[in-house]
Amino acid sequence: MGLTKTYKDGTTPIVCIIGSGFSGMCAAIRLQTQLNLKTYTIFELEPELGGTWWSNTYPGCACDVKSINYQFSFEPNYEWSTTYAGQQEIWEYQRQVAKKYNLYEKIRFRTEVTHAEWHEELQQWVLDWINHNTGETGQTNADIVFSGMGPLRIPQIPKQFEAFEGPKWHTAQWNHDYDLTGKHVAVVGSGASSIQVVPAIVDKVKKLEFYQRSATYIIPRRNVSNSAFWKFLFKHIPFVHFLYYKLTYWSNESIIRIFSTKWQHALTRRVAMLLAWSYRFYQIRDKQLRAKMTPNYILGCRRIVVSSDFYPALARKNVCVHTATIKDVKGRTLKLSDGSRQEVDALVLATGFHVKDSLAEGFVIGKDKCDLFKVWGQDPKTYYGITSAETPNMFFLLGPNTGLGHNSVLFMIETACEYAIMTISHMMDKNLSSIQATPKACKDFVDEVEEKMKGMVWSSNCKSWYQNEQGKVTALWWSTCTHYWWRLRKFRPQHFVGVQRSKVPAAIRA
């Protein structure tokens, strides 16, 4: 490991990282490996690290991009058991990586950051936290904050299901104490979570009622075991692994064209839609069921899901597919708009996440005491989803407009971390106590995204968690991962303004 990057006086900034999912882990590792910086703390609300892969333990949970791409580029795992690894294996990978970089000793578990406020006079963030084990509360000052709180974290539990009087739970909070064997079970929702759960439990339950509001585009998933031979090759001839990684990455990148509504890409999009249609035709023989499973919107507008066992699961005798609206829930009975009613033993809610609520009111108070929740509203104004004009020295990971519909978000997290590290390096080189993106740089980014999104399917008239309430796409990046990387490959000082360190009296900070 090289020399520690420091300010001219030999000091290093104090860094706080919120969250220990892939984002928080990546920030910590990059601080260590690129700046040799050890003065950081990770706050984690849960009792374990992993984020998504710690909390989503539902049967069938797995990644939907190939594992070779769903891992840190700097920590290749040659041992993935299958093409698409399951939750337990991904979580184990995260734990192994965390142990290798000694992250566990840096994490304050069960400690939730409840408030983050920028203090101009200190040129620091002050984080309020609470330890949920001990009830202890406190404040920590930080020169730099990484926010890796995860957009898909807070389960969305529609109010109407609160009235259900039997066992019920959200997919992200799976109830492992309840044995589904021989039970009559309802599964609500038809997104990626549900499409993984249904085939995984269908053999266990006596009867499964599946409630779908809108159909999802599904493409085949070829999930094969990685043989000992391939694992050996990957491990001992890294070039083979590298080649497979690049092939997978570029084949994902090439898909981006199907999301474009431009006439040049119409043929590609139509071919993709035809493939999805053929797959439905091939897997579902029952005409009525096929009609129910046919989406009424343009391909890609919502997340395309990979699955080879979902349609066959729906065709099973013990499964009933409902497309009527759930009108009412009383006791253990669900009443539908078509007049039918089903009394079930347990209710599984695969109803998605509160994406827009992940930044609560009053949570981040930035420059000039502005509440980020109020300033942004439904419309985040960031610089490449990484930072903003209101939040000096704060870096968002998997922030607004950095999600993807076609490739692994780990690439985006890594790219954002690299840019944050370049920014911190610049701060130290120029002896700055704070740095923030200019309002113009943020506006240019947001305006460009808005303009580009007009030519993408995500802006069409179907509703998804990619959009805000006005239908504006605030969750996704509009182009390839490579394009994002290209834009951020070097630090652009002209897009930032800073405050010289000497202007902050040391006595104030002490």
Ligand X SMILES: NC(=O)c1ccc[n+]([C@@H]2O[C@H](COP(=O)([O-])OP(=O)(O)OC[C@H]3O[C@@H](n4cnc5c(N)ncnc54)[C@H](OP(=O)(O)O)[C@@H]3O)[C@@H](O)[C@H]2O)c1
Does position 196 interact with ligand X (CB under 6 A)? The reply is yes
d(CA 147, CA 399) in angstroms, rounded, equals 9
Does position 55 interact with ligand X (CB under 6 A)? The reply is no
Which x/- pattern over 378-407 shows residues binding ligand FAD (rule: CB under 6 A)?
-------------------xx---------
Of ligand X, ligand FAD, none, which one does residue 326 interact with (CB within 5 to 8 Å by kind)? ligand X
Nearest to residue 244, comparing CAs of 254, 258, 257, 230?
230
218 vs 409, beta carbon nearer ligand FAD: 409
50 vs 392, beta carbon nearer ligand FAD: 50
Among 66, 184, 269, 303, interactor with ligand X by CB under 6 A: 303
Would you say the C-alpha torsion 436, 438, 443, 444 has a positive or negative sign? negative
Query: 147: Cβ–Cβ under 8 A, 6 or more apart, which residues?
Result: 18, 19, 116, 364, 394, 395, 396, 397, 399
Per DSSP, 200 falls in state H
Label residue 2 exposed, middle or buried (CB < 10 Å: 0-12, 13-18, 19+): exposed
User: Looking only at residues 165 through 224 of this chain, which bind ligand FAD when binding is defined by CB under 6 A?
Assistant: 193
Nearest to residue 308, comparing CAs of 195, 437, 415?
195
131 vs 438, beta carbon nearer ligand FAD: 131
d(CA 397, CA 394) in angstroms, rounded, equals 10
Does position 18 interact with ligand FAD (CB under 6 A)? The reply is yes
Does position 44 interact with ligand FAD (CB under 6 A)? The reply is yes
Taking contact as CB under 6 A, which single stretch among the options 22-30, 189-197, 376-384, 440-448 is the one that binds ligand X? 189-197
16 vs 456, beta carbon nearer ligand FAD: 16
Distances (CA, A) of 93 to 54, 57, 90, 224: 11, 15, 5, 19
15 vs 18, beta carbon nearer ligand FAD: 18
User: Looking only at residues 276 through 295 of this chain, which bind ligand X when binding is defined by CB under 6 A?
Assistant: none
Among 190, 423, 434, 468, interactor with ligand X by CB under 6 A: 190
Angle, helix 409-429 to helix 22-35, in steps of 10 degrees: 40
Does position 113 interact with ligand FAD (CB under 6 A)? The reply is yes
Does position 61 interact with ligand FAD (CB under 6 A)? The reply is yes
Token pair for residue 86?
């399951």
Among 12, 16, 40, 52, interactor with ligand FAD by CB under 6 A: 52
> What residue is closest to ligand X based on CB?
191
Of ligand FAD, ligand X, none, which one does residue 189 interact with (CB within 5 to 8 Å by kind)? ligand X
| Element of type H or E holding 119 | strand 111-119
Residues 401, 477 contacting (CB under 8 angstroms): yes
Does position 276 interact with ligand FAD (CB under 6 A)? The reply is no
CB of 207 to ligand X, least distance (A): 19
Which x/- pattern over 306-335 shows residues binding ligand X (rule: CB under 6 A)?
--------------------x---------
CB of 273 to ligand X, least distance (A): 18
CB of 352 to ligand X, least distance (A): 3
Among 65, 188, 305, 417, interactor with ligand FAD by CB under 6 A: 65
- Could you please report the per-residue DSSP string of 444-465? HHHHHHHHHHTTBGGGSSS--T
Cα 110 → chain centroid: 21
**Bridge partner residues of 137 (DSSP):** 130
Query: 20: Cβ–Cβ under 8 A, 6 or more apart, which residues?
Result: 42, 44, 49, 50, 51, 98, 103, 107, 148
- Residues in contact with ligand X by the rule CB under 6 A: 63-64, 152, 158, 188-194, 196, 211, 213-214, 303, 326, 350-353, 465
Which residues contact ligand FAD by CB under 6 A? Answer: 18-24, 43-46, 51-52, 56, 61, 63-65, 70, 112-113, 148-150, 152-153, 193, 397-398, 408-409
